[in-house]
Amino acid sequence: EPEVTQTPSHQVTQMGQEVILRCVPISNHLYFYWYRQILGQKVEFLVSFYNNEISEKSEIFDDQFSVERPDGSNFTLKIRSTKLEDSAMYFCASSGGGGATDTQYFGPGTRLTVL
């Protein structure tokens, strides 16, 4: 069964450093998402992406964050200058179609630790 994959599984970085989290969505999917979960808190929506542009973003997704689909298979989340409060599990998801009825398929997550 097709699945969403994410690399790395765990990333440790120093405060102020740039990180890039990578995701390979399911191959025929067109809609892509990033969510995050700070330890002990809710899974929170960050951004949705379709047709090479952001379709919606949350207030968390400020200028330090960016997303890109650099080729036909990868979908990346970049944090330009990491802060301690960026430490969280980051989940990538994809769906075949837009709209609320289409199931979002999630990857296993990348745990980001900012020291």
Partner 1 sequence: AQSVTQLDSQVPVFEEAPVELRCNYSSSVSVYLFWYVQYPNQGLQLLLKYLSGSTLVKGINGFEAEFNKSQTSFHLRKPSVHISDTAEYFCAVTPSEFGNEKLTFGTGTRLTIIP
Q: Which of 67, 91, 112, 114 binds partner 1 (CB under 8 A)?
A: 91
Query: Is 32:23 a contact under the CB 8 Å cutoff?
Result: yes
**How near is the Cβ of 82 to partner 1 at its closest, in Å?**
23
When the beta carbons of 45 and 64 are compared against partner 1, the nearer one is: 45
Under the binding rule (CB under 8 A), the answer on residue 14 touching partner 1 is no
Under the binding rule (CB under 8 A), the answer on residue 56 touching partner 1 is yes
> In terms of C-beta density within 10 A (0-12 exposed, 13-18 middle, 19 or more buried), how is residue 66 classed?
middle
Across the chain, the runs of DSSP E, i.e. the strands, are 5-7, 10-13, 19-24, 31-37, 43-50, 53-57, 65-68, 75-79, 88-95, 105-106, 110-114
Listed ranges 13-21, 40-48, 66-74, 77-85: which one lies at the site for partner 1 (CB under 8 A): 40-48
Which residue ranges make up the site for partner 1 (CB under 8 A)? 3-4, 6, 31, 35, 40-45, 48, 56, 58, 91, 93, 95, 98-109
